[in-house]
Amino acid sequence: MRVEADIVDFCDAVAVEAASGDWAREDTTYTSAWLLASAAAAEAVAELTGGSVPTELDVARMITEETPRAGTVVVGNSMPVRDLDTHRNVQAELPMVVANRGASGIDGTLAAAAGVAFGAGSGTTVVLGDQAFLHDLNSLALVRKSPTPIIVVVINNDGGAIFSFLPVAEQEDLLESLFVAPHGLTFGDAARLFDLSYTRVESMSGIREAYRAAVRAGDTTVIEVPSDRERNRTIHLEIEAAVRERVTRALRSGKRDTIGEKNT
């Protein structure tokens, strides 16, 4: 549907229509199809995640489940914002989520988180990748001076993992050296340079407990989560295929059930 109207007039009309209650139809076929698809997708994702070895998707889901509702989540660009958007726990009530989009790229994520923490006046969690962490390393000085605690969750897959999902991945001779740019670094010394607490965790239970401990302590800390780039790509593609197959099957089955009920 294409609507050409003054934005104020449009919003006023929508408000009146919503308040009237006439939009609530008894026919819920469309809603039922979405709920059916959502349940099928959730089953497919659950079967491929949630193991002892964490995936980047598990970290995104954990953040939505464990972050205090009064807090704020700042999410970095590239894979973190996509994973949080796609694989968060939809049953969990989210705190305020902030992200820099548009031309900002991965620059300034830690500085932005420090600004958000100052403005929000409550605990802040920033989830970002290793390249974003490296690009804004000096902003750990701002993180250290934050009047409220900041938990930095840095997912380290040793480079720009997002490029493995883009067409440039077909150019294997260029992918590693010019796009992924692996660095081989870990971030314990960087945290210590700025006198920040630091922990590196490699199990899902360890990540969850480290995050809970940081929330309880009210400390500004860096939690590093190592991730295998190729494994991450494989899991994403497997989940995408499984969700597509499971949702298609569920919707076809649901349509047959509906037709059967009408015929009866």
| Residue labelled with tokens 């190592």 | 226
138 belongs to a structural domain? yes
- Judged on CB neighbours under 10 Å (0-12, 13-18, 19+), 70 is exposed
95 belongs to a structural domain? yes
The one-letter amino acid at 69: R
The residue length of the chain stands at 264
Q: Cα(17)–Cα(160) distance, rounded to whole angstroms?
A: 47
169 belongs to a structural domain? yes
147 belongs to a structural domain? yes
pLDDT tens, residue by residue, 67-105: 888 899 999 988 899 899 888 877 778 888 999 876 667
118 belongs to a structural domain? yes
* DSSP symbols for 86-129: HHS-TTSPP-EEE---GGGTTTTHHHHHHHHHHHH-S-EEEEEE
Per the structure, the complete domain to which residue 136 belongs is given by 52-237
Query: Which of the pair, 101 or 263, is modelled with greater confidence?
Result: 101
Task: Please check the confidence at residue 32 and state whether its pLDDT lies above 50.
Answer: yes
Binning pLDDT at 50, 70 and 90, where does residue 21 land?
A: low
101 belongs to a structural domain? yes
18 belongs to a structural domain? no
When divided into structural domains, the chain yields a total of 1
71 belongs to a structural domain? yes
Task: Please check the confidence at residue 214 and state whether its pLDDT lies above 90.
Answer: yes
Q: Which CATH number belongs to the domain containing residue 100 in this structure? A: 3.40.50.970
For the chain, the average pLDDT equals 86
